[in-house]
Structure 1
Amino acid sequence: MALDKTFDARTAEPRLYANWEEAGAFRAGANARSGAETFSIMIPPPNVTGVLHMGHAFNNTLQDILTRWHRMQGHDTLWQPGQDHAGIATQMVVERKLAEDQQPSRREMGREAFLKKVWEWKKQSGGTIIEQLKRLGASCDWERNAFTMSGAPNAPEGEEGNFHDAVIKVFVDMYNKGLIYRGKRLVNWDPHFETAISDLEVENIEVDGHMWHFKYPLAGGATYTYVEKDEEGKTLFEEERDYISIATTRPETMLGDGAVAVHPSDARYAPIIGKLCEIPVGPKQHRRLIPIITDDYPDPDFGSGAVKITGAHDFNDYEVAKRGNIPMYNLMDTKGAMRADGRPYAEEAAIAQRIANGEEDFDEAKVAAMNLVPDAYRGMDRFEARKAVVADITAEGLAVMTQAHDPRLGKAAVKPLAPEEGGEERSHELVPLVEAKKIMQPFGDRSKVVIEPMLTDQWFVDTAKIVGPAIDAVRNGDTKILPEQDRKVYFHWLENIEPWCISRQLWWGHQIPVWLGPNKSSFDFSDK
């Protein structure tokens, strides 16, 4: 048979690959010697959200080299292929496609119809991915191809695998072992998808931001002597104050403050520890008073050194609130708008004040149901509420003021002209102190919207209970971390690991097999 003058890979590669498949060359155990050692690779399953990229090609080529080498050695070899249902990413892609095709939205068509659309997308996209891997020559055992949503209750014909059953069984097994629990914790909340997301799905990006400085008046018109000193103890500034100054990058969350915290060593605020101060926003007759407490978290050298504690909307504040038994008031709904539910603000504020005064007990459920958003801000988008809160506080004269040429104002600072330049001295001109600062802003890696820390009921894996074997494997040398210095990073991560939020508020994906009982607090489980 004469050879062609040029090699046509486009026709030759599919023909060769088909021959390999027909011969069973990639089946588990193909070419294995009797009693040979085993070798297997579980392919990191690509998401069914489109097509493979260069990273997939590189990574899968490395896997293929290893698999083929072991197979040629006569080892009992398996390269297990599969695709990941990729809940949030796939739901986003399908919703975007519906919008492009001018079809009804997810909510308009309903869950059942939407899931049917997702399965259709999976069939198209998953097939593309498999064909791409075959074009790369990947020697996977395709007879074992798996999909992480196979066997789900709404799966169409051809998706009869057992992944759904396996997920349910493992969930119930881990729950029974005390490794999974339901609890109210602060999570990364994506207002676009209206779901909790993991830390890995958050992109922290440095952006231009602002830090507003506000006055929290002391209760009852109390005053104290505020003194600033240098490192040698020499007095730099002294004045009588009837307020404590706080600095915040998120004024809209002031509505949910439970306390103001200062560092125990900060002598400036020693005279007012334990006193009450007023949150400077909302109807004057219903302003809440909150305690001034000490905690190691505030940095005396950052901002004013005083930090407002809003446990339901900041991860650091959440830890302070837990340590100090401070109520955590949730201010926003699932779309990132200020809550509009619940009783009138006057009633809610009165209850919150009795809690702050120690006159009324509170628990997690009671506080979660309370809406401390003043009526005027209810239903506003969180960023519109920010503007309204800043405007109202400033109009009341409770913004900390500074000279118009203060360099902390950044580009907003006014450069005063000297008399010889035709200007007048402007040192007497005061403006609100709004520092121009670079801040780290969390964004959803899929939605690209600003992530909101939110206190919600979710399901968690108690990771601290399961990392022991991973720590021991490195300590006793069974597993080696290279380079050696990264062992510290590894141990720091696992020894300080946080609970893993495994629940998502999505339509596409595995549903947690839990139903509330008649009293809405106990759980019924099923692994069927």
Structure 2
Amino acid sequence: MNQESNSIDTKELSKSFEPKDLEAHWYQEWNKQGIFAAGQYTTTASEECGQPFTIQFPPPNVTGTLHMGHAFNQTIMDGLIRYHRMLGNDTVFVPGTDHAGIATQIVVERQLDAQNISRHDLGREKFLEKVWEWKELSGNTITSQVRRLGASADWPREYFTMDEQMSKGVIETFVRLHEQGLIYRGKRLVNWDPVLGTAVSDLEVESCEEQGSLWHIRYPLSKPSGELTHLTVATTRPETMLGDVAVMVHPEDERYRHLIGQTVILPLVNREIPIIADDYVDREFGTGVVKVTPAHDFNDYAVGQRHGLSFSSILTLDAKIVDDAPEAYRGMDRFEAREKIVADLQALELLESVKPHTLMVPRGDRTKTVIEPMLTDQWFVAMSKPAPEGTYNPGKSITETALDVVRSGEIKFYPENWTNTYYQWLENIQDWCISRQLWWGHQIPAWYSEDGQIFVARDEQEALQKARAAGVTGSLRRDDDVLDTWFSSALVPFTTMGWPEETPDYKRYLPSSVLVTGFDIIFFWVARMIMMSMHLTGQIPFKFVYVHGLILDANGQKMSKSKGNTLDPVDLIDGIELEPLVAKRTTGLMNPKQASKIEKETRKEFPDGIEAYGADALRFTMAAYATLGRNMNFDLKRCGGYRNFCNKLWNASRFVLMNVEGHDLSGKDGVELSFADRWILSQLQKTLTEAEKGFKDFRFDNIANAIYHFVWDEYCDWYVELAKVQIQHGSSAQQCGTRQTLINVLETILRLAHPIIPFITEELWQKVALIAGKRKADETTSISVQPYPLPDAKLLNEQAEASLNQLKAQVEAVRALRGEMSLSPAQKVPMYAQGDATLLARNAPYLQALGKLSQVDIVTELPDLGAPVQILEDTHLMLNVEIDVEAELARLDKETKRLETEIQKANGKLGNEKFVARAPAAVIEQEKERLANFSELLAKINEQKNRLAK
């Protein structure tokens, strides 16, 4: 390559790395070039060339904004996509958002509340218009934030779980499953949010530890047995006693066995209810007697089914006492009724005692109201019913099929231990309640005749046809309920590819390659996608499931708005001043004390706000945290460290560009690689091997650490410094070899790191690749579609590595000598070196430059100067520095006393039996290590004193 062909204006590369402008520029440029579209694979010789590699967004809520979990998830997904694009795969990264039924409806209803308008005032049609308006205005916020992270998604494929294609798939799924007898309507116990007025999923219920009471209530026996006139029942919810249908004891409890089959009088209601026996009762809890209220407790519901008991609901859907309850409590709020019931029991001398009790209270994650188990008419998916003939796996339930594909290894979890969680949930699964009493969402495609017949159809016209065929002539009313958000989300893997039609995308890109998700939705989303995909398409939805932990704050606490410890990834990218940060963390908090506390903590933790770290530093941090299956304590210092890494890479690139640009790299005078050149090439191959294995094993932490170590420690701190010596002192052929190695290794580094830090690598690569001959001056291309570097075993060179390790040890020895003699970095001194003359002659220029030496004199024997000596096998190194013997002996005497004192302290601790018996093993080991280090250092000082005293 001649000078003209590789000329580049390095002034374009600014002195410091400023991420904001280049991030905006390159994301726009990537979109402009169509880099993210399917089919943009490289022409590499990789076996992956042209093979599909698909990832789909776990659709974030359209109501949401980016949080740290999203930043982590996007880093992993985009890293995989960019890696496989560079390998030559036909990559498809499908973006999308979820309509988030409950969350979105709450947001819009609160906006209306501020105007004193309810959704019922507007009516369903007008209300839904308001929701769609809000979605268009602010619903795309989160996807714009995802772009800031550098997600290389195929944006024209972006889906919304209520768009036309998704809705078509949802309706088709509902109708098919209903026709197959796998969707049914029935009265079952569900989680009910009285404020929202809808059933909610387990995922939307928070179990909160709270202080409550355990009330002991006397239930009179209908026929007293000797001195026993009543049974004492322990309960945490006395208001539900109005719906009791039995009391229950353990069948082997000697205290009560003789009463099984008799009855008690239900206090306040004066109704006889039976005494039954069931193994569910814990004889040690309370009195060993429990009340049974099947309509308001999930465990009691199961008991009621086992024993054929009646079900008596005592609460309305807004959590008030029903009209057929005793008159004194009708229409009362459940907690108001609790107080009156307890007072009335006390007045009747039926309240035996009240004891403090810690209990888990189920609360709605959005309304924070106490969730009420409620018996209501809902739609369900039959999870354990055998699939009928004509389906993918007749005779087996959709649950069994979903278990089979994981047990057979068709779908693999990383880490593997999450398969046990998957199995446990599916093996104990209940039928899935899929209906919600909301207006926003996929309205259930079922129509009712006036006499209550149900017609499930793809549209109203089809429903009418079915009704007429059944002899129904009147009008039909559509079901008001909508489907659980997880129902449509479960269809994402195949509806986004065009199902129910077998489109080209459906045939090529299903199944997806990998699903990246948190462990908390294995039950609610992952399992249901597998069930639905297998049943409806006969294909697995994805091949691998990468399960990651939670991003916690630096103290290991879960991030939440109420704790005021959340971090917005965009704030870490752009930076944010203190006052806007305080406002962001405290706005919307209802509790002024809490807001004041959070403000105080924020001002203390971030007195100057948050610095701008850039997207690359944030992504590198997330990758480094990605240890399989672990929660991650997020520390901003890590972001600062990886921003420093970006600066280091930037500055190294500037050095390389300045020292290679304009120089002949063609090797017309020959090319000679030094042992240092061959060493860095060998180290590079080992790093490429680590990265390759890291991607295969989904170990992004190993990838990040390998890149960091190689770039910072080996390339920048060692090779660049060695290259300076070679460029200054080497022959023309050696200089050419060094410049080739500098630029080629750097170009490889940029491709190696691109999947994790895409912006800085693209900016640098455009300039480096021009000099390295990897792109032409008039060519518009991107690092994104260059081949990912793969290891070449032929470049491994153990001999060069051994030689370089010897040199490293010698340089470190020189630095140790300088430190021992307290020489300033600016003070250059000569050095004597005794040992292998050939080896020392080769290393001398490097030792002189890296050891800050004025010269290196190779001698057969060191002179007797009294100066410290470093011995490395057969090599002896000594700085040629005149020493004030008396002053040095005085300094060494002082250091000797200090070390003797420390040794005495350490021996004292280790000789103390109480300390050894009580201290943790790690502390004892640390003390032993301190003693060994002090002793070793003292021996060296004594040796030095002996030399000086001669």
Q: Normalization by structure 2: what TM-score?
A: 0.44
8 Å CA contact 1:87–1:506 kept in 2: the answer is yes
Is it true that 1:205 corresponds to 2:208 in the alignment? yes
Range with greater deviation from structure 2 (459-468 or 164-173): 459-468
1:450 equivalenced with 2:370 (yes/no): yes
| One of 165, 168, 173 as aligned partner of 2:171 | 168
Cα distance in 2, alignment partners of residues 385 and 458 from structure 1: 27
Matches within 5 A, 1:347-362: none
- The match for 1:252 is 239
1:232 aligns with none
Equivalent residue for 2:360, pick from 433, 440, 452? 440
What code does the residue aligned with 2:188 have?
A: R
1:131 aligned partner, one-letter code: S
Letter of the structure 1 residue corresponding to residue 307 of structure 2: G
User: What is aligned with 2:180?
Assistant: 177
Q: Deviations over 1:163-222 (max 9, x none)?
A: 111111111111122221111111100111010011111111111011111111122xx2
Amino acid at match of 1:30: Q
1:459-478 equivalences in 2 (<5 Å)? 459-464=379-384, 465-478=397-410
Match of 1:62, as an amino acid? Answer: I
Alignment correspondent of 1:355: none
Contact 1:517–1:524 under 8 Å retained in 2: no
Contact 1:32–1:77 under 8 Å retained in 2: no
Structure 1 match to 2:88: 74
2:82 alignment partner AA: R
Instruction: Work out whether 1:520 is the aligned partner of 2:452.
Output: yes
> Is the radius of gyration larger for structure 1 or structure 2?
2
Displacement of 1:522: 3.5
User: Which residue identity is paired with 2:169?
Assistant: A
CA contact (8 A) 1:51 1:125 kept: no
- Unmatched runs of 5 consecutive residues or more in structure 1: 152-161, 226-239, 341-370, 401-432
CA contact (8 A) 2:41 2:49 kept: no
Bigger helix fraction = 2
Cα distance in 2 for residues equivalent to 1:479 and 1:30: 27
Distance 2:242 2:455 in 1: 34
Mapped pair 1:145 → 2:154: no
Give the conservation status (yes or no) of the 8 Å contact 2:41–2:50.
Answer: no
1:16 is the counterpart of 2:14: no
| 1:44 match | 58
Q: RCO greater where, 1 or 2, for CA within 8 Å and sep 6 or more?
A: 1
Q: Tell me by how many angstroms 1:501 deviates.
A: 1.0
Residue 279 in structure 1 maps to residue 266 in structure 2: yes
- Taking structure 1 as the reference length, the TM-score comes to 0.78
* Letter of the 2:281 counterpart: P
Matched with 2:79 is 65
Letter of the 1:94 partner, please give it: V
Deviation sequence 1:252-296 (CA, Å, 0-9, x none):
1111111111111112112222112111114xxxx2111111111
Distance apart, 1:311 and its partner CA: 0.3
- Counterpart Cα distance in 2 of 1:381 and 1:523: 37
Question: Displacement of 1:478 after TM fit?
Answer: 3.3
Q: Deviations over 1:124-155 (max 9, x none)?
A: 2222222212221111111111111113xxxx
Asked if 1 retains the 8 angstrom alpha-carbon contact of 2:294 and 2:303, the reply is: yes
In the alignment, which of 68, 84, 88 is matched to residue 54 of structure 1? 68
TM-aligned CA deviation for residue 301 of structure 1: 1.5
Give the distance between the partners of 2:37 and 2:230, measured in 1 at CA.
75
Letter in 2 for 1:19: E
* CA displacement 1:324-358 (0-9 Å, x = unmatched): 11111111111111123xxxxxxxxxxxxxxxxxx
Superposed CA offset, 1:407-430 (max 9, x none): xxxxxxxxxxxxxxxxxxxxxxxx
The answer to whether the aligner puts 1:509 opposite 2:441 as a matched pair is yes
Which amino acid letter does the alignment assign opposite residue 394 of structure 1? Q
What is the letter of the counterpart of residue 238 of structure 2?
P
Q: Say whether 1:377 aligns with 2:329.
A: yes
How much has 1:69 moved relative to structure 2?
Answer: 0.9
Q: Does the CA-based 8 Å contact 1:224-1:271 persist in structure 2?
A: no
- Among residues 38, 41, 48, which one is paired with 1:28 in the alignment? 38
Give the conservation status (yes or no) of the 8 Å contact 1:218–1:278. yes
Q: Secondary structure at the match of 1:492?
A: helix
- CA distance in structure 1 between the aligned counterparts of 2:52 and 2:414, rounded to whole angstroms: 25
Which residue matches 1:262?
249
Q: Give 2:122's aligned residue.
A: 109
Partner of 2:280: 297
Residues in 2 aligned to 1:487 and 1:15: alpha-carbon distance in whole angstroms = 43
Report the alpha carbon displacement of residue 483 of structure 1 after superposing the two structures with TM.
5.5
CA distance in 1, matches of 2:422, 2:363: 26
Q: Does structure 2 retain, via aligned residues, the 8 Å contact 1:245–1:304?
A: yes
Instruction: Name whichever of 305-314 and 126-135 sits farther off.
Output: 126-135
Conserved in 2, the CA contact under 8 Å of 1:515 and 1:523? yes
SS at 1:467 equivalent: helix
Cα distance in 2, alignment partners of residues 90 and 18 from structure 1: 30
| 2:325 corresponds to 1:325 | no
**Structure 2 residue matching 1:383: 3-state secondary structure:** helix
Q: What amino acid sits opposite 2:207 in the alignment?
A: N
Q: Which amino acid aligns with 1:501?
A: C
- How far is the alpha carbon of 1:35 from its aligned partner? 7.2
Q: How far apart are residue 484 of structure 1 and its match?
A: 5.5
CA contact (8 A) 1:50 1:125 kept: no
The one-letter code matched in structure 1 to 2:322 is R
CA RMSD of aligned residues (A): 2.0
Distance in 1 between the 2:155 and 2:415 partners?
36
- Name the SS for the 1:41 alignment partner: strand
Which residue is equivalent to 2:217?
214
For residue 10 of structure 1, report the CA deviation from its aligned partner: 3.2
Cα 1:53–1:337 change in 2 (3 A) is same
